[in-house]
Amino acid sequence: MSDSIKIFDTTLRDGTQGEGISLSVEDKLKIAQKLDELGVHYIEGGWPGSNGKDIEFFNRVQELNLKHAKVTAFGSTRRKNTRAEDDVNLNTLVESGVKVATIFGKSWDFHVHEAIQTTLEENLEMIFDSVRFLKNKGLEVIYDGEHFFDGYKNNAEYALQTIRKAEAAGADWIVLCDTNGGSMPEEVTSIVSEVKKHISVPLGIHAHNDCELAVANSLAAVRAGARQVQGTINGYGERCGNVNLCSVIPNLQLKLNYSCVSEAQLESLSSVARYVGEIANISMPMNQPYVGSAAFAHKGGIHVSAILKHASTYEHIIPEKVGNKQRVLVSELAGQSNLVSKAAELGLNFDQQDGRSREIISRIKNLEHEGYQFEGADASLELLMREAAGDSNEPFVLESFKIFVEKSADRPVSSEAFVKVNVKGQTMYTAAEGDGPVNALDNALRKALIPFYPDLLAMHLSDYKVRVLDDKGATASKVRVLIESRNFESEWNTVGVSSNIIEASWFALVDSFRYALIGKSSLENTTSDTRPVGLINH
């Protein structure tokens, strides 16, 4: 039995069936490139027979010259009572130019009757004809038995017949699908073991997460003999999603000693997960196993003091193996050890004895009480700690700002900002327009500061998040704004809280500029680049 497992990624096909996910052809090409670098073996790019956008993808993906992955197109068996040769969907698969076709057919007698409404016998012929047609065209054929486990539980003999037909027609892989995600791991173990007695081509598993068991079910199938795992990055997909490859791959490789990708490829896992999340425009759950920003984040005081002695006391693997890293959170649950460790991480000299760390803990607690949260705003926290450490050389001071927004009927809206700041003893009064009030503020503040600090040209705002804080009985609900900023070398996050979204944005914006000028990044970055600024427009 080989211990090498093939990874079949269907982020671009099944993943896009998830709620809130929509990928352009450009998006798909970018993701395919990353998947290839990660070392997956198959990339399912789409369903050319059902979507024109997917046809364009299959044309353009050939120009990428992927090094490792085989690209595959998805489709179904032929329609009932037709010939495979005449089936538009099957012909589109051939015309898409892929060398691997993935087609699904029905394993569950109930679906044959209810969904496609034909006879059990005709369904067997549909499977056989379709696989043979594609094999005759010279393609590698992966056959997905849809609802295999439900079908097997309802009528084992018929479910087995369907995949025996695919095997007889020459399928290269038989993939057993838990399409509705309702199976338990022990069912998967026993059914895959049973199927292995009847089928000699290699088996695969395609699991969905409706019982929060997709990872367990995929591992169970592999242990019972499956040699291909189909899934998606971050577990995107219909309903509760497909199995999450970002958990399956490290579990197989680091825990169960199977081999999927190289060690270096595995170290890119966290960055691939975040990249795909960015492209799909879906926030990554911070607590996502292995690759989430909180996967190795420690908050409880006891945990923190133990990991400072020895990381493996509360970490099940070395985070760097999946390209992640340890973080220590500062919060009301934390003791001084968190803060001292944070200070060391920042290169600040914080003496636990002199009462300053107590003072700053109490200041952080007060701000958290007002709605601040520093777990996602390291730069604002660093600025606070620098102030507390007496390192407060303010690069500018606000005198006033005004915002004016106007809209008439159907004409475009206009936004203007007026900023008065004192920079190095000089009052700067600037005005600027913007694509929105925050962008206008950003532009006006830049105008005031750049004559003094030209390095700011290299910096731009790259993300902007607004969170409405539940008022929970307080008199006014507050908003928390998080701003992410970047220059070429680094990115940093700042936070502002107010019951006024413009004021909250202003606080976070000011911290972003202050950090660029007096934070850690200013020490690392002294180039004065001229990358265009003002990407963000609110």
Of residues 168 and 535, the one with the C-beta less far from a copy of itself: 535
Comparison of 67 and 411: residue with beta carbon closer to a copy of itself = 411
Phi, psi of 167 (to 5 degrees): -65, -45
- Inter-axis angle of helices 336-346 and 301-309, to 10 degrees? 50
Which of 186, 351, 370, 491 touches a copy of itself (CB under 8 A)?
186
Radius of gyration of the chain (CA): 28
Q: Is 115 in the site for a copy of itself (CB under 8 A)?
A: yes
Q: Which amino acid is at 46?
A: G
Q: How many residues sit in the footprint of a copy of itself (CB under 8 A)? A: 123
Q: Is 180:210 a contact under the CB 8 Å cutoff?
A: yes
User: Is residue 509 packed enough to be buried (19+ CB in 10 Å), middle (13-18) or exposed (0-12)?
Assistant: buried
Residues 116-175 that bind a copy of itself (CB under 8 A): none
Rank residues 102 and 199 by Cβ distance to a copy of itself and give the closer one.
102
Pick from 348, 389, 431, 502 the residue near a copy of itself by CB under 8 A: 502
List the interface residues with a copy of itself, window 304-323 (CB under 8 A).
306, 309-310, 312-317
Residue 125 and residue 313: Cα distance in Å, rounded? 57
Please give the residues from 5 up to 34 whose contact with a copy of itself meets the rule CB under 8 A: 16-20, 22, 24, 26-27
Q: Are 299 and 337 a contacting pair, CB within 8 Å?
A: no
Nearer to a copy of itself, 40 or 297 (CB): 297
**Position 290 contacts a copy of itself (CB under 8 A):** yes
Q: Among 197, 406, 425, 532, which residue sits at the site for a copy of itself (rule: CB under 8 A)? A: 406
- Based on the shown chain and the rule CB under 8 A, indicate whether residue 190 belongs to the binding site for a copy of itself: no
Q: Check: CB of residue 490 under 8 Å from CB of residue 521.
A: yes
Residue 417 Cα distances to 395, 427, 446, 462, 533, angstroms: 21, 16, 12, 20, 17
Which residue bears the tokens 């395919």? 32
Query: Of residues 399, 433, 489, 491, which one binds a copy of itself by CB under 8 A?
Result: 399
- 239 near a copy of itself, judged by CB under 8 A: yes
| Span 459-478, contacts to a copy of itself by CB under 8 A | 463-466, 468-473, 476-477
By CB under 8 A, residue 501 contacts a copy of itself: yes
CB of 136 to a copy of itself, least distance (A): 26
DSSP code per residue over 257-306: --B-S-HHHHTTHHHHHHHHHHHHT-PPPTT-TTTSTTTTEE-SHHHHHH
88 binds a copy of itself (CB under 8 A): no
Residue 199 or residue 339: which is nearer to a copy of itself going by CB? 339
Q: Does 86 bind a copy of itself (CB under 8 A)?
A: no
367: region left, alpha or beta (phi > 0 left; psi from -120 to 50 alpha): alpha
**In the numeric block, which tokens belong to residue 91?**
């012909």
Interface with a copy of itself includes 303 (CB under 8 A)? Answer: yes
Q: What are the backbone angles phi and psi of residue 55, rounded to the nearest 5°?
A: -60, -45
Q: How far is the CB of 48 from a copy of itself (least distance, A)?
A: 14
Q: Does 375 bind a copy of itself (CB under 8 A)?
A: yes
Cβ at position 519, least distance to a copy of itself in Å: 22
